[in-house]
Amino acid sequence: MNRFLSIFLLSIFLMNCTSNTIIKKPDNLIPKKQMVDLLSDLLVASGAENVKNIQLKRKVNYYPLVFEKHNVDSAQFKTSNYYYSTKVDEYDQIIRDVEMRLEVLMKQYEEERRVKDSLTNFKNVIEVQEEDAFVQ
């Protein structure tokens, strides 16, 4: 009997704990596809914070620009992010989509950098050849 009572109390406790994590869907919920775009851009903006921009400035806060680009305010993002984080399976899929998007962006960046480096190297080879021809 004592064992039954402890199992019963434990099951009630567990049911009460799980019911508190279910939240109501917000009225202004950001759709999943837009959330993937928004999170991807926020992560890129976060990485760009420590890189010098065209005006040679660092520590620029790009987050307001990302929110403006997606027509979302920070409060809407916060509530949507919180809602999706309580839906573990949905949020996990969103995060996987963000990771895939960032991998694609990284491959594009590496390809552009490789082409730029090859053009720079080619330009340097031409300059060296012109200098050699001038010296002779």
Match 């837009």 to its residue by tokens: 34
**Residue 47: per-residue pLDDT:** 76
58 pLDDT band, cuts 50/70/90, is low
* Closest listed residue to residue 34, CA positions, set 66, 75, 82: 66
Q: Is the pTM of this model over 0.85?
A: no
Residue pLDDT, tens place only, 91-131: 999 999 999 999 999 999 898 888 877 766 666 656 656 66
Residue pLDDT, tens place only, 3-51: 665 665 566 665 555 445 567 888 899 999 999 999 999 888 887 766 6
**Residue 9: per-residue pLDDT:** 59
- Going from N- to C-terminal start, the domains of the chain cover 2-135
CA 20 from centre of chain: 28
CB-based burial label for 63 (10 Å; 0-12, 13-18, 19+): middle
How large is the average pLDDT for residues 68-91?
A: 91
- Measure Cα distances from 96 to 57, 67, 84, 100 in Å: 32, 21, 13, 6
**Residue 38: per-residue pLDDT:** 93
Q: Which amino acid is at 125?
A: V
In degrees and rounded to multiples of 5, residue 60 shows phi and psi of -90, 130
Count other C-beta atoms under 10 Å from residue 43's C-beta.
16
**Residue 22: per-residue pLDDT:** 67
Q: Which two tokens stand for residue 119?
A: 């053009």
Residue pLDDT, tens place only, 83-100: 998 888 899 999 999 999
- Measure Cα distances from 77 to 16, 17, 28, 48 in Å: 28, 26, 9, 20
**Residue 19: per-residue pLDDT:** 44
